[in-house]
Amino acid sequence: MQLKLFKLIAIYSIISLLGSCMNKSDDYITDRHVHKNISSLSIVEARYRTVNLLLSFYDVLTRDFGVGEWVPQSVQAQVEENFHIDCPIGYTSEAYRLASAGPFTRQNWQAAINKMHEIAQPYGFNAPKPDISEPGGASAVFSHPKGARIYISYLKRSIIQIETPCVKGKLYDEWPKGTENIPQRLRTTGRHENNEPPETWATSNK
């Protein structure tokens, strides 16, 4: 009888523990912060500005900081939903990572991100901060009051990802409007892994 009672107590304890873990998990999920400081830009305007800022970075880093040519993604999508921010219902955010280039040297890294901040500051971006999740200080993040973000890393290849603020609409609304300035040589996978199906781009201005 005592053995059965002990087994029942043990089973009850396990069930209670599992329930507690599940509740904590639910609390964690529901505790995610919804970014309420939304942008008044349309999704096309946000896309256009984001693309142009990214292209400005590519040009100056190649010209002044020796990272070489930017090679477009061949497998990974170049554009995707931004999962770093939770937008309110009815709003969305897109992330752009068109290409990669050679790495920086430690000697020119700080000067490079300072130059990026000089370019990004008129758009409202804050000064860069090291990304503590990456070793050796080889990455930085520029935040924005409206939730946009610039991320740059040079562990093996230099990669820049720029994310739009939360803007009204659905993901990829009015695509491909806003992509006109992306050069033909950088147009590969677009929104699709392995370029399947092939992407539809706006008529190029380049």
pLDDT tens digit string along 10-43?
444 444 444 444 333 333 233 345 777 899 999 9
Neighbours of 30 (CB within 10 A): 7
Asked if residue 10 and residue 81 are part of one domain, the reply reads no
Same domain, 5 and 57: no
Whether residue 205 is contained in a domain is answered as no
Mean pLDDT of 127-144: 87
Domain of residue 10 covers 1-31
Mean pLDDT of 167-194: 97
Q: If you average pLDDT over every residue of the chain, what do you get?
A: 86
Residue 33: per-residue pLDDT: 57
pLDDT (average), residues 98-112: 94
Question: Which residue, 28, 29, 41, is CA-closest to 148?
Answer: 41
Q: Are 140 and 152 in contact (CB under 8 A)?
A: yes
Distances in Å between the Cα of 68 and the Cα atoms of 16, 88, 96, 99, 156 are: 58, 39, 20, 12, 13
Could you tell me if 138 and 66 lie in one domain?
yes
Rounded Cα distance, 42 and 71, in Å: 29
Query: Which residue pairs, CB below 8 angstroms and at least 24 apart, start in 180-183?
Result: 180/48, 180/204, 180/205, 181/48, 181/51, 181/52, 181/55, 181/205, 181/206, 182/51, 182/55, 182/98, 182/206, 183/55
DSSP 175: T
Rounded average pLDDT over 168-187? 97
pLDDT score for 106: 86
Q: Which residue has the higher pLDDT, 56 or 34?
A: 56
Residue 67 within a domain: yes
Domain count, the chain: 2
In 3D space, the residue among 195, 177, 178 whose CA is nearest the CA of residue 72 turns out to be 195
